[in-house]
Amino acid sequence: MLALTYRGPNRIRVEKKPAPKLEHPNDVILRVTRTAICGSDLHLLHGLIPDTRVGCVFGHEFAGVVEEVGPGVVSLTKGDRVVVPFNISCGTCFFCQRGLTGNCENTNPSANVASGVYGYSHTTGGYDGGQAEYVRVPFADVGPMKIPDDMTDEQVLFLSDILPTGYQAAEMGEIKPGETVVVFGCGPVGLFAQRSAWLMGAGRVIAVDPVAYRLDFARAYNNVETVGFEDATGGDVVSLLMKMTDGRGADVCIDAVGCEAEGSVAQSFLGVKAKLMAGSATAINWSIAACRKAGNVVLIGVYGPPFNAVDIGSAMNKGLTLRMNQANCKRYMPKLLDHIREGRIDAEGIITHRVPLEHAADAYELFEKKKDNCIKCVLVPPMAA
Amino acid sequence: MNSQVEKQMQIAPIPGAGVDGSQEARPGVPMEKETPEPAGNAHWLTPQRMPDPGWIQKRAGLEELTPVFGTTVPPRGLSGLMRRAAYRIPEHFTSHWLVLLAADRVDVLEDRLKTILPFVVPLAAAGVYFGVRAQRRTWWRALLA
């Protein structure tokens, strides 16, 4: 089968690989029909996530058709169309039973940091991802959700990750009606976090991003106020945000950027270029600085181990509540499917590019370098039809 | 609902604004379900275990492999040895991650070498062969002179 494989930092290649096999009674093999490139795939591409091995297949956002079914699977049959959450979850461990499927303890033998994740290094269990023609899906009775017959794969594709991630970010902010929410990042997760903040009754949503076309998109898509780095004197975004919030700060700040945030030369050099820490913590520090005392700061952007230079002293002295986690997608899928159906969230509206899987490396470049006003790239495998 | 929210709802920034305003409407609240229950259609108490292929690396302190794991890209070469060493160090030690990151770089070098060796080895062998042959001719000429 064709698959996008990692060859080293900034090097990926679409090549032939053996198709996956059933390895557990509750596995299914999925023929991928749509798969997306996520911002967190870029952290892998840039060599920021430990134990990313040459030859592994990326991709944790995908939907497809069930091709082979393990003998222990009861809820799926061959031919079912499903969308698959990026967390691989057993469904019955301590965490899964409490709704924390992103923290499942039965699917990742490598690290105690998260559940297994498709195509996201051996630090999250060493599973191949979905940027391929076929993918093995463990615990098929737990994760995958059948796609309703009247909906397309693209309408629901983002239930696999970025939509629940954005929604959970807003939810962890414990937004109360009328509150001011600042979302750092106008990438796909940031866009969905902004939209979710409105759904939760925010009185004001302010989006921050260095890229002008992404701010334009956020304004058009979410009707939010926007702040670009160029809007702030000397690039001092935090001072501008404080001014916009009467000098007090926002009630809730959401970091939807993660470990490659721009805005601080020192952080970018130490964390991203020199790799002396786990990426740049600029968005965390700005969230801490722009949040009002006793407010809520949410980290939903991805950071790898081991450490970052985070201004934890300010967070402590301001009495902030910090909340963070990988998204527990499974818990949010029915609710968000309803929002899509009712037209409250136009999830596929953020797709700007559809690219054949064979040209996935070009799509990565487009997405990474923010060419052609790219917001979200969807890859279409040759066997998708 | 306070006046600020009423004003907001009148403006309606997006369709359905405020629809999830109450905590009860939010599926992840409370963060931990108060009544634990299986997720999805899980029909087991303890998941069946996958067979251990013998090379899967597990974190220090984990007594046995998790029931399910990924089987892509087994460890190999020098990078594999480094990864084995890293997984013997508990993950709360920075050295665990630093050794893994170093192994990632070595893995890339090994892959590059594997790619170029089929070309470099024959070229190097040919270079040595012709170099020695040319040198021998020079020696013979020197002896005969």
DSSP string, B80-135: HHHHHHHTTS-TTSHHHHHHHHHHHHHHHHHHHHHHHHHHHHHHHHHHHHHHHHHH
Q: Which of residues 220-259 of A touch B (CB under 8 A)?
A: 222-224
ipTM of the complex: 0.92
Q: Which residue in this structure is represented by tokens 């222990």?
A: A72
pLDDT at residue B3 in the model: 54
What CA–CA distance (Å, rounded) separates A147 from A157?
A: 9
Helix (H) or strand (E) holding B77: helix B77-86
State the Cα–Cα distance between residues B34 and A100, nearest whole angstrom: 12
Contacts of A52 in chain B (CB under 8 A): 104
- Dist CA A190 CA A339 (whole Å): 17
Q: What pLDDT, on the 0 to 100 scale, is given for residue A383?
A: 84
Q: What is the pLDDT of residues A185-198, one digit of tens each?
A: 999 999 999 999 99
Name B122's Cβ contacts closer than 8 Å, sequence gap at least 6: none
Q: Do B27 and A101 touch (CB under 8 A)?
A: no
Q: Which residue of A has its CA nearest to B9?
A: A201
Q: What are the tens digits of pLDDT across the range A248-280?
A: 999 999 999 999 999 999 999 999 888 888 899
CA angle A76, A116, A309 (to 5 degrees): 145
DSSP summary character for residue A58:
P
A307 touches chain B (CB under 8 A): yes
Whether B133 shows a pLDDT value over 90: the answer reads: no
Strand segments, DSSP code E, in A175-320 are 180-184, 204-209, 225-228, 250-255, 291-299
Residue B142 has pLDDT above 80, yes or no: no
Chain A neighbors of B36, CB-CB under 8 A: 97-98
CA of B70, closest CA in chain A: separation in Å?
A: 4
Low-confidence residues of chain A: pLDDT under 50: none
User: Hey, which bits of A229-312 come out as E strands?
Assistant: 250-255, 291-299
Question: Which one, of A125, A144, A150, lies nearest residue A65 by Cα?
Answer: A144
Do A199 and B40 lie within an 8 Å CB cutoff?
no
Which has the closest alpha carbon to B39: A215, A205, A102, A166?
Answer: A102
Using alpha carbons, list the distances in angstroms from residue A240 to A51, A232, B23, B63: 39, 6, 31, 52
- In this prediction, residue A276 carries a pLDDT of 84
Q: Is B6 on the interface with A (CB under 8 A)?
A: no
Residue B4 has a pLDDT of 52
Whether the CB-CB separation of A125 and A107 falls below 8 Å is answered with yes
Helix axes A237-244, A282-290, angle to 10 degrees: 30
Pick the residue from chain A with its C-alpha nearest to B22. A200
**Entry pTM:** 0.93
The residue of chain A with its CA nearest to that of B13 is A223
Strand partners, A136: A29
A–B: how many Cβ contacts below 8 A?
A: 232
Give pLDDT, residue B1: 46
CA distance linking residue A323 with residue A174, whole number of Å: 10
The residues, any chain, with a CB within 8 Å of residue A196's CB and separated by 6 or more, are A166, A167, A169, A170, A171, B20
> Percent of chain B at pLDDT above 70?
92
pLDDT category of residue B123 using cuts at 50, 70 and 90: confident
CA distance B123 to chain A (A): 25
Q: Is B54 near chain A, with CB under 8 Å?
A: no
Mean pLDDT (whole number) for B119-145: 82
How confident is the model at residue A220, as a pLDDT? Answer: 97
Among B137, B128, B89, B6, residue whose Cα is nearest residue A51: B89
Identify from B44, B68, B100 which residue to disrupt to test chain A contact, counting A C-beta atoms within 10 A and taking the largest count. B68
- pLDDT, tens digit (0-9, with 9 covering 90-100), for A143-193: 999 999 999 999 999 999 999 999 999 999 999 999 999 999 999 999 999
pLDDT tens per residue, range B66-75: 999 999 999 9
Q: What was the pLDDT predicted at B11?
A: 61
Instruction: Say yes or no to pLDDT of B49 above 70.
Output: yes
Assess contact for A379 and A35: CB atoms under 8 A. yes
Q: Do A50 and B5 touch (CB under 8 A)?
A: no
